[in-house]
Chain A
Amino acid sequence: MASSALGGWGAVFRGEARRFWRRRGQLGVYAFYAVVLAYLVQLVEPAPAPRQYIALFWISALFINLQLGAQAYHQETRGHMLFYYWVVPPEVMFWVRALVNSLMQALVMGLLAVLFMFFSGPLPVGLWGWSGLIGLSSLGFGFAFSLVSAISRFGRHPFVLMSILGIPTIIPLFYTVIQLHLALIGGSAPMRMWLTLPALWGIVAVMGTILIPYLHRH
């Protein structure tokens, strides 16, 4: 039983990896977005103050992640559904997609950070703090946007709905990331702020695991 479940996970991971590889051209599009946004920020504000730097970085990251997150379910065809949901339950599929999504978002945000360093000068916060924030926030963004993508794909205009549903629901996570980052400018952030991020991610992950099967009940 356990080995078949693991086999199912493996098959889905392989399938998702293949799906991403087939659409590798799209990853180039997100890298292009990152370059354009970092360059535009530099044009508008060549040497931003730390607070502006942080705000501009995270707003740029939010818009790229929103587009990237939409891919999780929007491009799912009926054939994919019939195959995957026969192999594994929808909640497992959600976890795989959200984890792949988080990984991609971490990569894109890492690229964005490098580009910001190149165009707008050194990061206002140490590299470890920055990496920790990118790691934790990509998990939160990845899961939240995957769930919103699964919900919005049922609407008439899924990409428009993705923004309408995704931006307000991501605000608690986004606000926490910004607050944490601002606290890091002053030296160190209190532990309760660091713990809030994984706690919010936990809420989204649990909600996704519980609710996703209902979306596929028919």
Chain B
Amino acid sequence: MQRRLSWILSGTGTLLVLYSIIAGVWTPVPDIPILYESIRNFFFHVPMWFAMLLMFLIGVIHSMRYLSSGRLDEDFKASSYLQTGVVFGILGLITGAVWARYTWGSWWSNDPKQNASAITLIIYAAYFILRRAIADRSVRGRVGAVYAVFAFAVAVPLLFILPRMTDSLHPGSGGNPAFSSYDLDFRMRPIFYAGVAGWTLIGSWLSLLYARVQRTAHEIVLLKHRLP
């Protein structure tokens, strides 16, 4: 069952991501002032953020399940999903910085959304530091899960509310053209959705794989303790 799920996630994810990369490079795009050809980054940058948020959300759900059930497996999954989410966040920052270099003129412009996403990654980086600072396995899981839920509650206003309180260079803010229903071309939508679904499936596959690695490492430690 687990192996079949793994094949489905990795196979479908790879196909969708390959489609979004190839079509994202070759498909004709609308000619929007300021954005022009750089709009193609939309197929790579935005799916990273969607995948990051979904990984964080699934990680928080597993954290809550760990708090209610105490099953170690949930903790392994929670930390794996959050770790994959951080990787997607870093990729999102890099693809965004490359785009900003050509559109805004610099890699980093202290844009509210850039700052909010960087701070979100720092908040989740602190989660892994916290876990490493606790030796006891069950306390680590419990305290880590509490922090993960709190961090998600902090990250939501940080990403979705606070950047709207000030002007931003980002598309969709301060009169800049957005990737909304007005200018998101009908040819772009399937490629974008394929990218979001593909990266999310690959992220889930990697997370489940890493959770299995953690479980196996934990079982090896337990077996070593039993040896005379």
Q: Which residues of B contact A87 (CB under 8 A)?
A: none
Question: Complex Cα distance A204/B151, Å?
Answer: 10
B130 near A168 (CB under 8 angstroms)?
no
Q: Is the interface of B mostly helix, strand, loop or mixed?
A: helix
| Closest chain A residue to B158, Cβ basis | A172
- B150→A193 contact, CB < 8 A: no
| Interface residue? B45 (CB, 8 A) | no
Output the nearest chain A residue to B161 by Cβ-Cβ distance: A196
B contact residues around A203 at 8 Å (CB): 153-154, 157
Structural contact, B153 and A151, CB atoms closer than 8 A: no
Q: Determine whether the beta carbon of B133 is less than 8 Å from that of A172.
A: no
Considering the complex, which residues of chain A in the window 170-218 have a beta carbon less than 8 Å from any beta carbon of chain B? 171-172, 175-176, 179, 192-193, 196, 199-200, 203-204, 207, 211, 214-215, 217-218
Contact A172 B162 (CB under 8 A): yes
A164 within 8 Å of B (CB atoms):
yes
Name A152's closest neighbour in chain B (CB-CB). B130
Shortest Cβ gap from B72 to chain A (Å):
15
Q: How far is the CA of A215 from the CA of B143 in the complex (A)?
A: 6
Interface string of A117-147 (1 = CB under 8 A from B): 0000000000000000000000000000001
- Given the known interface contacts A155-B133, A165-B130, the answer about A175 and B123 at a Cβ–Cβ threshold of 8 Å is no
Instruction: Please give me the residue from chain B that is nearest to A192 by CB atom.
Output: B165
Q: What number of A residues sit within 8 Å (CB to CB) of B?
A: 30
Q: A22 at the A/B interface (Cβ < 8 Å)?
A: no
Identify the closest chain A residue to B120 (Cβ): A168
Interface membership of A156, Cβ < 8 A: yes
Q: Any chain B CB within 8 A of the CB of A23? A: no
In the docked arrangement, what's the CA distance between A192 and B161, Å?
11
Query: Complex: how many Å from CA A169 to CA B154?
Result: 7
- 27 inter-chain pairs at a CB distance below 8 angstroms, sorted by A residue, are A151-B147, A151-B150, A154-B139, A154-B143, A155-B130, A155-B133, A155-B134, A156-B135, A157-B133, A161-B129, A164-B130, A165-B130, A168-B122, A169-B123, A169-B151, A169-B154, A172-B157, A172-B158, A179-B166, A196-B162, A203-B157, A204-B154, A207-B153, A211-B146, A214-B67, A214-B142, A218-B138
Question: Across chains A and B, which 8 residue pairs bring their CB atoms closest together, nearest first?
Answer: A155-B133, A168-B123, A168-B122, A154-B143, A172-B158, A211-B146, A214-B67, A207-B153
